[in-house]
Amino acid sequence: MKGLPLKHITVILIILLASFVQGEEPALTVVASTTQIADFARTIGGDRAEVICILGAGVNPHGYQPVPGDSRLVEKADLCLENGLHLEGKNWMRSLAKDNGNKPLITCTDGVQPLDLQYEGQVVADPHAWFNPRNAAIYVRNILEALVEQDPEGAADYRARADLYLRQLRILDTWIEKQVAAIPPSIRILVTSHDAFNYYAARYGFKVRSPVGWSTGSEIGGGMTPERRKKVVESIRSFYVPAVFVETSVNPKLIRQIAEDAGVKIGGELYSDAMGEAGSAGETYIGMMRENTLVIAGALSVKKSE
C-alpha cells in the first residue's frame, strides 16, 4: 500500500485546522423565555452568543409549566432573559433563573410605559409590549446592555448589530403606518381572540375589541356554552367590522363557527404570543409584524374592485 502523497496530507491538515477554528465556542450562552426575545438576542448576539429559547413556536407563555429540561438549559446559561409584566405566568422564567444557580436575569420590558389591561376583573399591566416596534427597541437596548455587561470584549460587535437592527425596526414602524393608512379609520377595529394587540392598536390607531366570553386563548373551545356563544356572536355583530382575526396559537374551529353565526369573515391568522415555526414567514419578529400587518390590512382595507 502506497503512502498518502504529501499534498493530500497537507489538505487534510488544513481541513482539520479549519474545523478547529470553525468549532470555536460562543462567548455567551443566553436562555430566553419567549420567541420574540430570543430573536432579538440572536440578532444582537450573532455568533458570539448561543441563544436558546424555552418556548417553542406557537406556545402560550401565560400558562406554560416548566419541565426538567428547562432547568438543565438554564443551568448552563450565562444570562437569562424574560419579558416581564407577568407574561410568563407565575413568573416561571424568574423562578428558573433563581433555582438554577441564581443566574443573571434581565427583564426586557424595563423602561416600557405599560398599558392597562382588564384581566379577570382587575386592571393589570399589559405584558404584550413587543407589538409596538418602539417598545421592541427598548427590548433591544436592554438586551444589548446585558450582553455588553456579560461579554465586554464583544461590545463593539453587539452595538453594531443592534444599531443595524434598530434601523430595521424604524423602517418596519413607518412601513406599518403606511399599510394601516389604507384602512378607513371607522373600521380600524381589531377583533381578536385574546387581548394581545393593545400596544399595536395604540401605536397605529386601532380600537381593540375582544368579544364577550373571549378572554384568553385557552378558554376558547373549552367551557363554551350555547348561551355564552350567543353573547359572543351578538358582541361581534355590535362592532360592525368586516372581519375578525384568530391567532396562530388558538384552535380556529370554534372561532370559524362563531364568525359564521355573526356573519363576518375570518380575516386571517395573527401571530400573537409566539412567533411562527422556523421557515415560516413569521419566524422572526420583523416577519411576524409584517405578516400580521398584511393580514389585517388585507382584511380591513377597502379594495378598489369592491
Gap between the Cα atoms of 282 and 271, Å rounded: 7
Please report, in angstroms and rounded to a whole number, the separation of the first and last CA atoms in the chain. Answer: 80
| Sign of the C-alpha dihedral computed for residues 110, 112, 114 and 120 taken in this order | negative
Q: How many other C-beta atoms are found inside a 10 Å radius of the C-beta of residue 221?
A: 13
Helices 92-99 and 68-75: crossing angle, nearest 10°?
A: 60
Which residue lies nearer to another protein by CB, 167 or 253? 167
Helices (H), 151-284: 155-180, 198-204, 226-239, 252-262
Contact between residue 136 and residue 169 where contact means Cβ atoms under 8 Å apart: yes
Q: How many other C-beta atoms are found inside a 10 Å radius of the C-beta of residue 1?
A: 3
Rounded least distance, CB 38 to another protein, Å: 21
Residues that bind another protein (CB under 8 A): 111, 133-134, 137-138, 141, 144, 159, 162-163, 166-167, 169-171, 173-175, 177-178
Which residue lies nearer to another protein by CB, 166 or 266? 166
Our measurement of the distance from residue 57's CA atom to the centroid of its chain's CA atoms, rounded to an integer in Å, reads 9
| Helix/strand number for the chain, H first, E second | 10, 10
* SS3 state of residue 135: helix
Continuous segment of H or E residues that includes residue 191: strand 189-191
Which residue lies nearer to another protein by CB, 30 or 144? 144
Rounded least distance, CB 171 to another protein, Å: 5
Which residue lies nearer to another protein by CB, 111 or 185? 111
Rounded least distance, CB 297 to another protein, Å: 17
Which residue lies nearer to another protein by CB, 12 or 181? 181
Rounded least distance, CB 202 to another protein, Å: 14
Rounded least distance, CB 46 to another protein, Å: 16
Rounded least distance, CB 170 to another protein, Å: 4
Rounded least distance, CB 43 to another protein, Å: 14
162-194 burial: b if 16+ Cβ within 10 Å, else e = beebbeebeebbeebeebbeebeeebbbbbbbb
Strand partners for 209? 191
Rounded least distance, CB 160 to another protein, Å: 10
Rounded least distance, CB 174 to another protein, Å: 4
* SS3 state of residue 61: coil
Which residue lies nearer to another protein by CB, 162 or 255? 162
Which residue lies nearer to another protein by CB, 119 or 175? 175
Which residue lies nearer to another protein by CB, 37 or 96? 37
Which residue lies nearer to another protein by CB, 140 or 243? 140
Instruction: Give Cα separations from 277 to 63, 161, 228 (angstroms).
Output: 20, 24, 33
